[in-house]
Chain A
Amino acid sequence: MEEKRAPDIIFKCMTSLNLIIILYIAGSMAASLTGYVRENTALSFLQQVNAVTIVPWKIPIAALLLYGGLLFFLAVQNESGLLFYVKTGLEIIISLLISYLLNFSYTGMLLLILADVTRRFPKAKRKFAVIGIICGVYLLSDYNLVSGRYGITALDTYLAYYRSDVQAIMLGLRNVLNSLNILIFIFYIILLIREQMSEKERILSLNDKLNEANEELRLANIQMEEYARESIKNAETRERNRLAREIHDTLGHTLTGIITGLDACVTLVDAAPDATKEQLKVIADVARNGMTDVRRSVKALRPDALEKMELPKALTAMIDEMKKATHAQIEYDCTAALKNFNKDEEEIIYRIVQESITNAIRHGKADKIWISISMEYNVLSVKIKDNGVGCAKIEKGFGLHHMEERLNMLHGSLYCNGEEGFLMEAKIPIRWGEEA
């Protein structure tokens, strides 16, 4: 921001300097004229001039008014076509009028216009044509070129009123001021170029940064893809593990029982056929129970009710099925409106309930299960309690571990207690604001 102001400050310097020069020349012209009149040498002066001069006091005032007008025009900020050309054209005409007033002894106002055009109108289409025109006018509005044709009197002729040494100083001062104006103009242009170059550099460095970010993004994308692939694999592995566990938990258990029972029967069958009968009945029970378990497992492995129904319906359907399959008594109490969850959340709620019931029946041998779902301050709490055997020390088996992992992914938590029956409580923060 500081740097952007530097050309503006120099531009202000230029406008002030031009004001000083114009006032200086107009003032010395007026002073010379009144001097000629006062000293009665007007005749010899008029014999030197090329045109009747302007009334002395009017020269500085008219020059000031014209310069004021020029400054107002310079303050017009517009980059659009027609107004820009009209404004610049008027500015050139005013400059020529001022120059005419000053007998073309000073034309530096044109540099002011040039500075303004180069600064303010970087986008104007024919900017270079306009700059060319201004330069042309500046070059051609030289006193020596103009005076021959249009009856203009040299400043020197005016200043001839003064003693030759004073004259030299006055003309010298004019030249110094004029050169100063040109120098400031050059300085101004240099600053402007520098500013534009640094602007370009900034854009270049921004471009570099953008490219870097793009590259990072691309890498991250690749990583994401890999991660996605891995997580699919993970899901597969998990599913396989679950299958294995189910098989082990149900078929393995049952078959082990049956095998052990049958082995006992082989030994008993000759000695005590009745006991063997009894034993075979038990084995049949075990096999039947195993069958029930297998059915339940197959049901659990089947595509879920959740995929076909809304969460609340899916839950009640699943609980009803469990009741029928296990003869366990299940009480279900839901106080939260199970709506507007995203897929992850629905899935985990469903799985927690399903898994807990399975666990309670399978491991806890429970015949009564209480399920309650409630919501408190955006945290959904799922509580499952049973009257089974419980366990003094909770060993997180495959199921619990898996549940905890999935809860962690949703920033949730899991609490278990196996002292009186088994109590499990899952808390899930719900992020409605983000997705619903």
Chain B
Amino acid sequence: MDNSRKKKNLVMLILGMGFIIAALLLLSDIGRNFPGKNRVITVGAFSDSYWEVPNGYSYQILEDAIALFEEQNPGIKVEYVSGILKEDYPEWLSEQLILGNAPDVFLVPGEYFNDLAEIGALKDLSEMIEDDTGFEKEAFYSSVFAYGMYDEGQYALPYECAPKLMFVNKSILDKEGLEVPKEDWTWDDFYEICRAVTKDADGNGTLDQFGAVEYTWEEAFDSNGVKLFNRQGTECYFADEQVEEAIVFVEKLQKLYEGYNITARDFDLGKVAFQPMLFSEYRAYKPYPLSIKKYSGFEWECISMPAGKSGSNIAGLDTLMVAMNENTVNQEYAWEFMKLLTYDEGIQSEIFDYSEGVSVLKKVTESDQTLQLLIESSGEDSGFNLNVLSNAVENAVVIPRFRNYEEAVAQVDKAVGDIIEGSSNISMEQIIWNRKINNFLKDKEGR
């Protein structure tokens, strides 16, 4: 081989390598790593309350956290885009992710967590949690903390939550001479009360007072210890005995109403004794002026869910989480800021001041200060039991985290509806449906 060819080859190799390195640099976002640029942390948040109730303090907690953070970390600025409504937020976040402008730290509504974790938009925080000696995950309610897990990794920290509780129309129970159930009441107690209150109160020939609305198979499953799916979402346990018990119970309950279609509106009007709702509703409507507006004409209270035969007095939970952008270049400060939002007791206690949710920190939620605040805002000096709240959060059912969870649940919903409406053997139907749902899961997983 002659020299000129050797030289030419060398030039070609160098040029080729140059182009490839340029492409890799472009793809790896090296430009954002230049010193001076990483002194700003961006945060994604929305302007209204996560709990769908009017709220005048949209960015209050965030602003306070930013002020505290900038004081603790001089020279680092935290910025956020204001004015994004909660309903537009997922779309806004998706667009920012596509355009590569997603903030370093952003709020993740529970229902979008699976998708975001699956597509790799969120950073796995496991190592940071392990390495940070000043961070004890035991300070969080374990169930709420587990909501941020996906595939063995911790992809988000909980920011605020709201457990599902049973709302009781005390006025109806009083009228019927019934006691408000105790904390550890069971399905039998629940059924008895429902049976007792379901009647034609005004005597016009149609039922106008009912036991419970929106108590569906989901609540029954949760409180009967049903584990519907395995963690990876590859298998369904719909044929279990607890499932059968729950279906039988829901069917029994429905039979009381003789085919009447009861809605949440009926509860608002004071015609229904029980409705499962998120605690945030209680926070939103318990204070005096708002309670007039929504639930006029009756006294109400929230208690734990009735326990099933094989389960306990627990239910699901909704949570708002904070996650880190997988591509953040400010990992260190982003983590610090996330910690401030979720782990700082001062900031977390503001949730009770400015939001309708519940703090994810045990110490904050179970403090006297919180009890005082709840009692003050409810306008009643007795009655509220903080244990109900902390038990509901601590023991809340952790739903499995996999991408097609919502669709799988829709399948189960269809299955339960089908079984209740049909007349054939329940356990037989369960096996058939279990096979169907398993096929669905396998199909989805394969894609």
A residues sitting closer than 8 Å to B (CB atoms) are: 33, 36-37, 40-43, 45-47, 49-56, 58, 61-62, 65-66, 68-73, 75-78, 80, 83, 87, 90, 94, 97, 148, 151
Contacts and interface: CB of A to CB of B under 8 A. Distances in A.
Nearest to B18: A69
B428 interface: no
Interface of A is mostly: helix
Interface string B3-17: 001001100110111
A30 B231 CA distance: 35
Contacts of B97: 42, 46, 52-53
A77 B97 CA distance: 43
Interface in B303-332: 326
Contacts of A76: 9, 12-13, 16
B26 A69 contact: no
Nearest to A87: B13
Interface of B is mostly: helix
B406 to A, nearest CB: 10
Given A50-B119, A73-B12, A148-B446, 9 more contacts: A42-B98, A46-B119, A65-B20, A66-B23, A68-B19, A69-B23, A71-B16, A72-B12, A76-B12
A52 B99 contact: no
Interface residues of B, number: 34
B95 interface: yes
B5 A42 contact: no
Interface in B94-153: 94-95, 97-100, 115-116, 118-121
- 5 tightest A-B contacts by CB? A72-B16, A55-B100, A69-B19, A42-B94, A65-B23
A147 to B, nearest CB: 8
B287 interface: no
A49 B91 contact: no
Given A43-B91, A52-B97, A148-B446, A62 B20 contact: no
A116 to B, nearest CB: 13
Contacts of B90: 43
Interface in B1-54: 1, 5, 8-9, 12-13, 15-20, 22-23, 26-27
Nearest to A58: B26
Contact of A69 (B16, B27, B98): B16
A255 B120 CA distance: 133
A47 B112 CA distance: 9
Contacts of B115: 46-47
B119 A69 contact: no
A52 B119 contact: yes
B232 to A, nearest CB: 14
A56 B99 contact: yes
Contacts of A37: 95, 98-99
A70 B20 CA distance: 8
B13 A72 contact: yes
A70 B19 CA distance: 9
23 contacts: A36-B98, A40-B95, A42-B95, A42-B97, A42-B98, A43-B90, A46-B94, A46-B115, A61-B23, A62-B23, A65-B20, A66-B19, A66-B20, A69-B18, A69-B19, A70-B16, A77-B8, A80-B1, A83-B9, A87-B13, A97-B20, A97-B23, A151-B120
